[in-house]
């Protein structure tokens, strides 16, 4: 187990030496701390990763780099790039990186060319609906990796959208999701994308069937072929649904769902921003790939983010991380990364079939700033819970309204500074005394901030397709690194499958088609309460 290695034990001793040290004191002791613990991406000098507000010293990163070598992360990278079946429980390669290679391999190039042709047909008005009108609304129906990635990126790149075309997303099995989306649409100008590799995913196929009924009620059965396309490999099921298999876009079993944005799963995004900008996003991801493959661990952005998560979780005991993008356009990034990170790394059994022996993925949550400041930041500052924060900001605004962006940046930097330094009782009393309130001594305890809450700040250039592609790839490689460090398979998700298995067994009981049997008393009681 990794916890038994000398590298792990070195980190344990180092963490013990750091206990009791406050971030404020670490800054006071080292005037050059920011310069020492800030990394710039050499291929793109506009990227800056500030680790100086993390509870680390100059010794911490070399010790974590020692663990990188112990876990043979370079060896695992080589296996991934060679197409080895590193998803060992499913016997699959992990090759999402091949989706953004330049030049692409033949099968990837064929799908990209087909996506480009389809985007051009929609944007030019060459593809028309059953009544001869151009398409004005695209509805992507998928769930999980077939929804979260393109949905997040479509919002993130709102400033880049093609005019006169709206892209919507439906995922939840709750009928409210589909019904409220369809309420504002016209069947004759709406196109549906059904994203399901097997064309059997319960949530997706139920929503697809309801969307089909909505369309055919208005336009008839013959309209399906002009208003539905599929992203799937199950061409027989696609045809049975009424979609011409020629309008199905393929992807492969070596692409995991939560890593599939770069494949045909990205079609709704490509429609939203245009295929040239989608290609720019692929190029940004490829640039980050090259950085991850070549940079030494202490200069490697994905490795550094992985190191900080592991350090905070396993050595400082911080079991939650707040992701705080100071960008409304990145508002869905926390939700996207919840799947990417927690579904990949929320595991306790290692590649050897035994317990990894330590906590793994911290709980991830977040909200864009400045909204979160008026919701949960009170707990961050004075709630008495130690946690880590990750701030993301852009130097330039994607929607440059006068007077907005400078204030946004000021709030972002102020929050990380306040979380780090806090405010002592003496400082609070002096501040109140200077302001001459009625009773400074009474209010002073309420104005104390413990500080010492660690945070990372990632400063990006303007949010555009290239930057977003690199950002997403950054987190993909961070997940890969943590999987190697913890000796986990980051590419399966058996916990998800177990819940589906139970749901399939319960469905006929809830529908009244089978007796309620072989379930616990709580589940039986809940089913009975619904049926009554």
Mean pLDDT, the chain, whole residue set? 96
Say whether 197 is catalytic: no
Three-class secondary structure of residue 108 per DSSP: helix
Strand arrangement, sheet containing 137-141: 166-170, 137-141, 190-195, 228-231, 248-249
* Architecture, CATH, for domain 2-86+295-421+454-486: 3-Layer(aba) Sandwich (3.40)
Strand arrangement, sheet containing 320-325: 38-40, 48-50, 455-460, 388-394, 320-325, 363-366
* Distance, CA of 366 to chain centre: 11
Q: Which residue has the tokens 């940046």?
A: 409
Write down the catalytic residue from 88, 164, 407, 500. 500
pLDDT score of 302 more than 80: yes
Instruction: List, for residues 84-124, the tens digit of each pLDDT value.
Output: 999 999 999 999 999 999 999 999 999 999 999 999 999 99
Instruction: List, for residues 441-452, the tens digit of each pLDDT value.
Output: 889 999 999 999
Map out the domains of the chain as residue ranges.
Answer: 2-86+295-421+454-486, 101-273, 422-452, 494-531
Burial-class residue 425 by CB neighbours within 10 Å (0-12, 13-18, 19+): exposed
Query: Lowest-pLDDT range, 168-172, 472-476, 512-516?
Result: 512-516
Three-state SS for 40-90 is ECCCCCCCEEECCCCCCCCCHHHHHHHHHHHCCHHHHHHHHHHCCCCECCC
Alpha carbon distance 74, 92 (integer Å): 20
pLDDT score of 44 more than 80: no
Averaged pLDDT for residues 29-39 = 96
Averaged pLDDT for residues 248-274 = 96
Alpha carbon distance 268, 251 (integer Å): 15
- Give the pLDDT of residue 434: 85
> Could you give phi then psi for residue 228, rounded to 5 degrees?
-135, 135
Q: Across 83-149, where does the E strand assignment appear?
A: 137-141
Pairing of strands 38-40, 48-50: antiparallel
Instruction: List, for residues 56-76, the tens digit of each pLDDT value.
Output: 999 999 999 999 999 999 999
pLDDT score of 436 more than 80: no
Q: What is the CATH number of domain 101-273?
A: 3.40.50.10490
DSSP string, 293-319: HHS-GGG-HHHHHHHHHHIIIIIS---
Write down the catalytic residue from 12, 126, 374, 404. 374
Q: Which residue has the tokens 């250039």?
A: 461
Instruction: List, for residues 110-169, the tens digit of each pLDDT value.
Output: 999 999 999 999 999 999 999 999 999 999 999 999 999 999 999 999 999 999 999 999
Q: Which two tokens stand for residue 118?
A: 């389809």
pLDDT over 70, % of the chain: 100
pLDDT score of 463 more than 90: yes
Write down the catalytic residue from 203, 343, 367, 476. 343
Same fold, 2-86+295-421+454-486 and 101-273: yes
Angle at 330 between CA 328 and CA 336, to 5 degrees: 140
Q: Which residues pair with 309 in a beta bridge?
A: none
Alpha carbon distance 272, 450 (integer Å): 46
Say whether 101 is catalytic: no
Q: Which residues pair with 170 in a beta bridge?
A: 141
DSSP string, 346-402: ---B-TTSSB-SS--SPEEEE--TTGGGGTTHHHHHHSS---EEEEEEESS-SS--T
Instruction: List, for residues 472-510, the tens digit of each pLDDT value.
Output: 999 999 999 999 999 999 999 998 889 889 999 999 999
Output the pTM of the full model. 0.96
Say whether 511 is catalytic: no
Phi-psi region of 132 (alpha: psi -120 to 50; beta: other; left: phi over 0): left
């Amino acid at each position: 187990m990794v916890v038994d290695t000398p590298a792990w034990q070195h980190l344990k001793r180092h963490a013990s030496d750091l206990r009791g040290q406050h971030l404020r004191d670490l800054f006071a002791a080292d005037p050059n701390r920011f310069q020492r613990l800030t990394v710039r991406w050499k291929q793109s000098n506009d990227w800056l990763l500030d680790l100086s507000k993390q509870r680390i010293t100059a010794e911490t990163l070399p010790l974590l780099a020692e663990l990188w070598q112990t876990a043979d992360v370079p060896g695992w990278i080589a296996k991934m790039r060679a197409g080895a079946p590193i998803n060992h429980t499913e016997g699959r390669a992990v090759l999402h990186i091949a989706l953004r290679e330049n030049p692409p391999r033949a099968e990837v190039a064929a799908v990209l060319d087909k996506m480009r042709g389809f985007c051009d047909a929609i944007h030019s008005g060459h593809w028309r609906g059953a009544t001869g009108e151009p398409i004005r609304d695209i509805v992507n129906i998928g769930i999980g990796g077939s929804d979260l990635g393109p949905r997040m990126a479509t919002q993130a790149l709102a400033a880049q959208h093609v005019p006169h075309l709206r892209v919507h997303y439906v995922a939840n099995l709750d009928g409210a999701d589909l019904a409220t989306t369809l309420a504002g649409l016209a069947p004759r100008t709406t196109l549906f994308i059904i994203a399901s590799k097997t064309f059997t995913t319960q949530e997706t196929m139920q929503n697809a069937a309801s969307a089909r009924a909505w369309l055919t009620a208005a336009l008839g059965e013959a309209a399906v072929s002009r208003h539905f396309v599929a992203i799937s490999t199950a061409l027989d099921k696609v045809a049975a649904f009424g979609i011409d298999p020629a309008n199905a876009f393929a992807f492969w079993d070596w692409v995991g769902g939560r890593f599939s944005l770069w494949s045909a799963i990205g079609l709704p995004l490509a429609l939203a921003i245009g295929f040239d900008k989608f290609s720019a996003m692929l190029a940004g991801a490829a640039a980050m790939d090259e950085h991850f493959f070549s940079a030494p661990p202490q200069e490697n952005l994905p490795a550094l983010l992985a190191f900080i998560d592991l350090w905070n979780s396993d050595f400082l005991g911080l079991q939650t991380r707040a992701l705080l993008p100071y960008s409304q356009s990145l508002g869905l990034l926390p939700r996207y990364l919840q799947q990417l990170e927690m579904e990949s790394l929320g595991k306790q059994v290692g590649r050897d079939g035994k317990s990894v022996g330590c906590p793994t993925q911290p709980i991830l949550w977040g909200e864009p700033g400045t909204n979160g400041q008026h919701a949960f930041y009170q707990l961050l500052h004075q709630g008495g819970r130690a946690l880590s924060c990750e701030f993301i900001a852009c130097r330039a605004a994607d929607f440059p309204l006068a007077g907005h962006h400078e204030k946004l940046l000021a709030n972002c930097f102020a929050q990380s500074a306040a979380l780090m330094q806090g405010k002592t009782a003496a400082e609070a009393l002096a501040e109140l005394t200077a302001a001459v309130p009625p009773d400074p001594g009474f209010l002073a305890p309420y104005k104390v901030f413990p500080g010492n809450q660690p945070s990372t700040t990632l400063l990006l250039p303007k949010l555009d397709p290239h930057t977003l592609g690199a950002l997403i790839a950054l987190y993909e490689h961070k997940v890969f690194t943590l999987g190697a460090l913890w000796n986990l398979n980051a590419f399966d998700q058996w916990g998800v499958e177990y819940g589906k298995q139970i749901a399939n067994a319960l469905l006929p009981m809830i529908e009244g088609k089978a007796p309620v049997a072989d379930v616990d008393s709580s589940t039986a009681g809940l089913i009975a309460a619904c049926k009554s």
